[in-house]
Amino acid sequence: MRRYGHVELVVFAAGVATLGAEIAAQRLVAPQFGASTVVWADTIGVVLVALAGGYWLGGRLADRHPRVRDLSRTALAGAALVALVPLVAVPVLEAGEGSLPALLVLVAPPVLVLGAVSPWAVRLRVTALADAGDVAGRVYALSTAGGLVGTFVSALALIPLLGTRWTFLICAALLAAAALPGACSSRPA
């Protein structure tokens, strides 16, 4: 098996999209709710709890569906949810119910789905106990590297140059492009 293939690309792209969306989400809610410690804590809290839930869920799904195609389709669904954020944001923010409910509606669903990608990838890539550590380390590292790229590209380029809405759409498009070949594959493997 190649060490870096489709699964690794999806892991990296999911890392980019997750952190890119987190940075853009703070930008999205600030005009309505400000950037006080409460809003910051709500954002971090919602993102990390959704991620933890996604990890847990993703691991269980992976054991039941240990197929690249199912992983790719999950990632594709995550991309679709990221793309929906700026559209759903208008009515949700106007409702003005407070930052926690708004973030739960806007940010939790895509982050939950994206969180499923990493443990799923570990399951697909581990072929022997003896190299499980190496595989897990590689997946963790790739996802974090993706997070680094997502943070920087969104904060330093996309948000200032194109705006918050486009940042969500570009992150989503990137992940969809990475996931699409695997999701369309007719081979169940």
Partner 1 sequence: MVTSVSVRPRVRAPLEALVVAVGFSSLGAEIAAARLMAPFFGASTVIWANTIAVVLVALSAGYRLGGRLADRRPSREALAGLVLLASVLLAAVPLVAHPFLSLSVRAFDTLSVGAFFSSLFGVLVLVAVPVLLLGAVSPWALRLRLADLSHAGEVAGRLYAVSTAGSLAGTFAAALVLIPHLGTQRTFLVLAAVPACVAVLELRAQWAAVPVALIAALALPVGTVKPAETGRVLYETETPYQYARVVELPDGTRRLELNEGQAIHSLWKPGTVLTGNYWDGFLVLPFANGASGPPGRIAILGTAGGTVARAYARFYPATRIDAVDIDGKLFDIGRRWFGLEPRPELRTIAQDARPFLRETTARYDAIFVDAYRQPYIPFYLATREFFALVRDHLRPNGTVIVNVGHPRDSQALERALTATMRAVFPVLARDPIAATNTLLMGASVPLDEARLQAAPAPAGLRGLVAAQRLEPPLPGGRVFTDDRAPVEWLIDTSIVRYAAGESK
What is the binding site for partner 1 (CB under 8 A)? 27, 30-37, 39-41, 44-45, 48-49, 51-53, 55-63, 66, 115-116, 118-120, 122-123, 126-138, 140-141, 144-145, 147-148, 151-152, 155-156, 159-165
Taking the C-alpha atoms of residue 80 and residue 96, their distance in angstroms, rounded to an integer, is: 25
Taking the C-alpha atoms of residue 189 and residue 18, their distance in angstroms, rounded to an integer, is: 26
Contact criterion met (CB below 8 Å) for 21 and 85: yes
Quick one: 148 or 184, whose CB is closer to partner 1?
148
Contacts of 157-161 spanning 24+ positions with Cβ under 8 A: 158/20, 158/24, 159/23, 159/24, 159/27
Quick one: 96 or 186, whose CB is closer to partner 1?
96
Q: How far is the CB of 77 from partner 1 (least distance, A)?
A: 17
Q: How far is the CB of 36 from partner 1 (least distance, A)?
A: 5
Q: How far is the CB of 87 from partner 1 (least distance, A)?
A: 13
